[in-house]
Every structure is written in structure tokens, then in C-alpha cells.
């Protein structure tokens, strides 16, 4: 990136205001520093706009649906308007159904419960556990990690060509890897799925906060994502897409709100008529604040303009990647290669360092929050590290003490609220730690590497 381009990116593409941008944290070496939140892939900070919208609504909070009072009716309107806003953000089809859930994990488990009895599922081993684990039975085919986007499409085409062509099938794929940040060829995978009579669900947890996502343009059948990765950390997620399988399935949760009519049967039991709308899978009191916060984030990102947000993020990605490239001991993990398009998620290992030790030093000595571990994508990280896929490991926990060999990696991730200074501090800290070592002693405590007292 040229100096003029960098200056333009800094001038035109200012970070969006987020909560916590002025929080200071103590350093083990003395003093305090403004916290550099570089773990967006786990949970992004709340946009200031989202927080302000939620705070303005909070005094008017009321029960959703069926309430006669003014606050209940206002909250119901807010909830259903949020549904329409998010559907518009995703460019859903007119007859699609949008269900508010708790998270991406909840959304994909809901869809797994709604699959026809004889549905076959195809999923790459590279998926996050949220989209890898819900389909646990003999109908699932796990596909090996591809090393190019074209290979991903060819692998799926071969697997679908070998399946029973007369039964229903579902393909599950991520839009952007939570480990490497690389974008997957979703549109091409959807075309391959549909050509073989299968449907496809897109895990957009890492894609939606960084890029515009159009259900119609990508031609996916369902899409799932989490509010807490979309700058709306209030406990809600989304599953949006075709209504037929959702309407035909038993409710994901049985209870009030999902039922349209409940009567006693002559045999002493109860007979239930379930809603056919999204309410069928939204039993209980809906999280209206969570839904409203997602809608607020969707509006904020749309108004900011994804072209601007994407341009700034590419600028930050180049800052980090070029900085890490100057450190020979650092190896960036990748499936598709250096030139693959990606979002602001970068994982790497450092020669001679246990990843947990390195991440602990970044936090304790520089006030930088990153993630270390296997990132709830164990098969993918082990493939990228070249380790035994059977080796035991906990999601996000270290497997070795400081100085010992690590089977984990370090992940830095950022987004619309990340200022330049945070990534610059991170790159400089990596260089200093590799060159000079840690300034403090560390020990393993309760499965985490922490500064020794």
C-alpha cells in the first residue's frame, strides 16, 4: 500500500465509535495503557450507536406479543420492525422466514432439528464447531480441508454426485474462516449444491460484520449469524431463509409463544396447534433488546457504507500482515494462500514460543487482547499446524507451559471499531517479544498462562 493510499484510508475511513475505546488496563511492568481490543472474532465491542439506541428504548421495555398495554404494543412493534430490518440487511427473499435465536450455534442447532428425517448433510472439516457439530449422526459426510477455493467446489461436487440423488441434502459452509479470515466461494458452492438437488446454509458469523451479505445474490437457502460478533452483544442471533422445513418441523422449543392453540384431549393429554410463522421457533419471552440491538447494528453498518468499511479493513489487514512478514519467526496460517481475500482475522504461530505464553505477554506487558488456542475449530487448526488430529486439546486453552512446544495458535482480529494505533502497537509488540523476549515471568494456572506473582 502506498503512502498516499494509507493516508487516504486514515483520513476517510475513521473507525466507528465503540464502547470501551477509552478503557485503560494495568501493565505488569507498571503503569496503565489504553486497552487494545483485538479479539473481535470472539466478540466485537458494542457500537456506540447500538448502546445509545438500546438505552433510549430501555425505559419503554415491555412484554412482546399479546399484551394490551402501551409498552407491550410498542415493544411488539419494535421487535417485528427489527425482524424486517434484519431481513432487509440480509436481502432475504419475500417469502423467507427470519427467526431470532441466541447465537449462530443456536441457529444451526435449530436448523439441524428441522431437517427432514432422511436428509444427508455435507460439511467441511474446516468449520467452526458451531457449524461442524450439530449434524451428529450417520447422515453426515465430513469433507477434507481444501487448499484452494476451486478445490472446495470440486470436493463438494464429487461428494454430492456420489450421494443418493432422491433424498434431501444440506450443505453447511462458512462465509469467512474464524481461524484464517479467508473468504470462502459461497456463491460457487451454492451453485454446486443446487445443481445436485441440495440446499445450503451459510454460517455468516465472521462474514456479516465485515462484508455485505445478500441471501439472494449468494443464492443460499439459509443464513445464520450472531449479534455479539456484529457489534450487538445482547444475547441474540439470527436464522433466516426458506420457511418450508422450519414450518414442517416440531418447534425447537416447546412453550408459550410457539403454540397457537392448546386443548385437553379426551385421553387426558393435551393437543397443540403450533404457529407456522417464525414464532413457531421463538417460544418463551423474546429477547426484544437483543433483536433491537441487531437491527440497530445493521442500520449503523449500512449507513456507514460497507465499501468504506471494507476499504479500511483491507488497509488494517495489510498493516498487520506486512508487519508480521518482517518477523521470520512468525508463520501466518492459511488454507488458500497469501493472495486469498480475507476479513480482519489472522492466526499465526511464533517459532520458539508457546502460543499461550505469547498471548499472555501481549496482554500483561502491552495491554493487547488477542486469542490463543484452537478457536473452536480443532480439525482446521490441527490441519494448518500439521499436528496429529487425534491429539487432545481444549477449545481456547493452552496445552503446554511457557517455553514448551504448543499445538495452539495466536489469533488477532479487528473490525470497524479498531483504530490504527491498536494494530500498530500489536505489530511492534510482536517484534519486541520475538527480539527481546518477555520482560516478566509466567506460569500456568487453571489451564491459562498468567504472570507470575
Using one digit for the tens of pLDDT, what is the confidence trace for 288-322?
999 999 999 999 999 999 999 999 999 999 999 99
The confidence score (pLDDT) of residue 48 equals 98
The confidence score (pLDDT) of residue 259 equals 80
DSSP string, 189-213: HHHHHHHTT-EEEEE-TTTTTTS--
The confidence score (pLDDT) of residue 4 equals 42
Measured CA to CA, the distance from residue 48 to residue 397 in angstroms comes to: 31
The confidence score (pLDDT) of residue 277 equals 85
The confidence score (pLDDT) of residue 203 equals 98
**Helices 306-325, 288-304: crossing angle, 10 deg rounding:** 80
List the chain pLDDT tens, one digit each, 453 residues.
444 444 444 444 789 999 999 999 999 999 999 999 999 999 999 999 999 999 999 999 998 987 889 999 999 999 999 999 999 999 999 999 999 999 999 999 999 999 998 899 999 999 999 999 999 777 899 999 999 999 999 999 999 999 977 789 999 999 999 999 999 999 999 999 999 999 999 999 999 999 999 999 999 999 999 999 999 999 999 999 999 999 999 998 888 888 889 888 989 898 888 888 888 888 888 999 999 999 999 999 999 999 999 999 999 999 999 999 999 999 999 999 999 999 999 999 999 999 999 999 999 999 999 999 999 999 999 999 986 444 444 334 445 555 545 578 999 999 999 999 999 999 999 999 999 999 999 998 887 899 998
In Å, how far from its chain's centre is CA 29?
A: 34
Q: Which residues contact residue 196 at a Cβ distance below 8 angstroms, ignoring those fewer than 6 apart? A: 157, 160, 161, 163, 165, 169
Match 440497530 to its residue by C-alpha cell. 296
Task: Report the mean per-residue pLDDT for the chain.
Answer: 91
What's this model's pTM, rounded to 2 decimal places?
Answer: 0.92
The confidence score (pLDDT) of residue 400 equals 52
In residues, how long is the chain?
453
Instruction: List residues with catalytic annotation.
Output: 376
Match 510482536 to its residue by C-alpha cell. 430
CB pairs under 8 A, 24+ apart, for 317-320? 317/181, 317/342, 317/343, 317/344, 317/346, 318/1, 319/420, 319/423, 319/424, 319/427, 320/346, 320/412, 320/414, 320/423, 320/426, 320/427
The confidence score (pLDDT) of residue 60 equals 96
The confidence score (pLDDT) of residue 1 equals 41
Beta strand 259-264 with 237-241: parallel, antiparallel or unpaired? unpaired
Measured CA to CA, the distance from residue 110 to residue 367 in angstroms comes to: 38
Beta bridge partners, 226, equal: 237
The confidence score (pLDDT) of residue 43 equals 97
Amino acid at each position: 500500500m502506498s503512502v498516499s493510499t494509507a493516508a487516504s484510508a486514515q483520513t476517510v475511513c475513521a473507525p466507528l465509535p465503540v464502547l470501551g475505546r477509552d478503557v485503560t488496563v494495568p501493565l505488569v511492568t507498571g503503569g496503565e495503557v489504553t486497552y487494545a481490543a483485538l479479539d473481535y472474532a470472539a466478540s466485537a465491542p458494542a457500537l456506540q450507536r447500538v448502546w445509545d439506541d438500546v438505552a433510549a428504548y430501555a425505559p419503554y421495555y415491555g412484554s412482546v406479543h399479546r399484551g394490551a398495554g402501551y409498552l407491550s404494543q410498542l415493544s411488539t412493534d419494535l421487535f417485528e420492525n427489527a425482524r424486517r430490518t434484519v431481513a432487509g440487511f440480509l436481502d432475504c427473499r419475500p417469502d423467507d422466514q427470519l427467526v431470532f435465536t441466541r447465537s449462530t450455534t443456536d441457529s444451526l442447532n435449530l436448523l439441524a432439528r428441522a431437517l427432514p428425517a432422511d436428509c444427508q448433510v455435507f460439511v467441511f472439516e474446516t468449520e467452526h464447531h458451531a457449524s461442524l457439530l450439530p449434524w451428529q449422526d450417520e447422515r453426515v459426510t465430513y469433507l477434507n480441508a481444501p487448499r484452494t477455493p476451486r478445490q472446495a467446489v470440486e470436493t463438494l461436487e464429487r461428494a454430492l454426485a456420489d450421494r443418493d440423488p432422491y433424498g434431501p441434502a444440506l450443505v453447511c459452509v462458512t462465509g469467512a474462516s474464524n481461524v484464517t479470515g479467508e473468504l470462502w466461494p459461497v456463491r460457487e458452492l451454492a451453485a454446486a449444491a443446487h445443481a445436485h438437488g441440495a440446499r445450503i446454509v451459510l454460517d455468516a458469523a465472521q462474514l456479516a460484520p465485515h462484508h455485505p451479505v445478500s441471501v439472494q445474490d449468494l443464492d443460499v437457502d439459509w443464513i445464520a449469524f450472531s449479534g455479539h460478533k456484529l457489534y450487538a452483544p445482547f444475547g441474540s442471533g439470527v436464522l433466516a431463509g426458506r420457511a418450508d422445513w422450519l414450518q414442517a418441523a416440531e418447534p425447537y422449543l416447546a412453550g408459550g409463544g410457539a403454540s397457537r392453540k392448546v386443548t385437553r384431549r379426551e385421553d387426558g393429554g393435551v393437543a397443540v396447534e403450533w404457529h407456522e410463522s417464525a414464532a413457531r421457533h421463538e417460544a418463551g419471552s423474546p429477547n426484544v433488546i437483543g433483536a433491537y440491538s441487531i437491527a440497530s447494528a445493521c442500520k449503523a453498518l449500512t449507513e456507514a457504507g460497507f465499501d468504506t468499511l471494507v476499504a479500511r479493513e483491507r488497509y488494517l489487514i495489510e498493516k498487520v500482515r506486512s508487519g508480521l512478514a518482517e518477523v521470520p519467526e512468525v508463520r501466518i496460517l492459511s488454507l488458500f494462500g497469501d493472495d486469498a481475500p480475507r476479513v480482519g482475522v489472522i492466526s499465526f504461530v511464533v517459532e520458539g514460543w508457546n502460543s499461550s505464553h505469547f498471548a499472555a505477554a501481549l496482554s500483561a506487558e502491552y495491554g493487547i487482547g488477542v486469542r490463543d488456542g484452537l478457536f473452536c475449530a480443532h480439525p482446521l487448526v490441527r490441519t494448518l499446524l500439521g499436528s496429529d488430529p487425534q491429539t487432545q486439546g481444549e477449545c481456547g486453552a493452552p496445552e503446554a507451559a511457557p517455553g514448551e512446544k504448543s499445538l495452539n495458535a495466536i489469533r488477532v482480529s479487528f473490525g470497524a471499531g479498531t483504530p490504527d494505533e491498536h494494530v500498530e502497537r500489536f505489530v511492534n509488540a510482536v517484534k519486541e517479544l520475538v527480539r527481546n523476549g518477555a520482560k516478566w515471568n509466567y506460569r500456568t494456572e487453571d489451564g491459562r498462562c498468567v504472570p507470575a506473582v
